[in-house]
Amino acid sequence: DRFTMDPVDVPIGTGSGFIWDNLGHIVTNYHVIRNAETAKVVVSDGGKQRTFNASLVGYNPDKDVAVLGIDPAEARRFRPLDIGTSSSLRVGQTTLAIGNPFGLDHSLTIGIVSGLGREVRSPSGRPITNVIQTDAAINPGNSGGALLDSSGRLIGMNTAILSPSGASSGIGFAVPVDTLKYQV
């Protein structure tokens, strides 16, 4: 509905995520994994793709956050994202959205913080507050992907778009990293 701030429906089982720490925790959106019976995580490793079985560590549908786990011994070979802060963001700052839009993996788009303090509805129907608005292209499949600042620090998790067509119209939303720190 183009007159509401509700996120667009995204097909279950498609999405993105990012490595949170060296313990094998992978963060994504709850709506990406809800109702899943099994999960696999695909990581790019020196130009090759490696697939890992993942288990559900925890989730909060009210904030649209889920944490998956892969074998910690395998996870140690990958570098987790540098965690930034969202409390000091300003409109106009550069943003980079990483994800898997429409199944096109390893995608990167660039934009700016175009709004702060937005609100979107979570999969449970509750509001997610203080959401970051960006004009970096976010499409179905980007859900759960990293939103970075110009220094490559995590500032949010791509979560929803506002679009009557279901494709990016330049209005994307990300759960702020300060919320993720608490939820994860």
Q: Mind telling me the catalytic residues?
A: 31, 64, 143
Taken in order 101, 28, 31, 121, is the CA torsion positive or negative?
negative
Radius of gyration of the chain from its Cα atoms, rounded to whole angstroms: 15
Q: What angle (nearest 5°) sits at the alpha carbon of residue 110, between those of residues 162 and 142?
A: 50
Q: What are 174's strand-pairing partners? A: 132, 158
95 CB-contact burial (10 Å; exposed 0-12 / middle 13-18 / buried 19+): buried
Measure CA 54 to chain center: 17
SS3 75: helix
Residue for token digits 């995580």?
A: 41
- How far apart are alpha carbons 184 and 172 in whole angstroms? 22
Please check whether residue 154 is in contact with residue 18, taking contact to mean a CB–CB distance below 8 angstroms.
Answer: yes
Please count the other Cβ atoms lying within 10 Å of the Cβ belonging to residue 153.
14
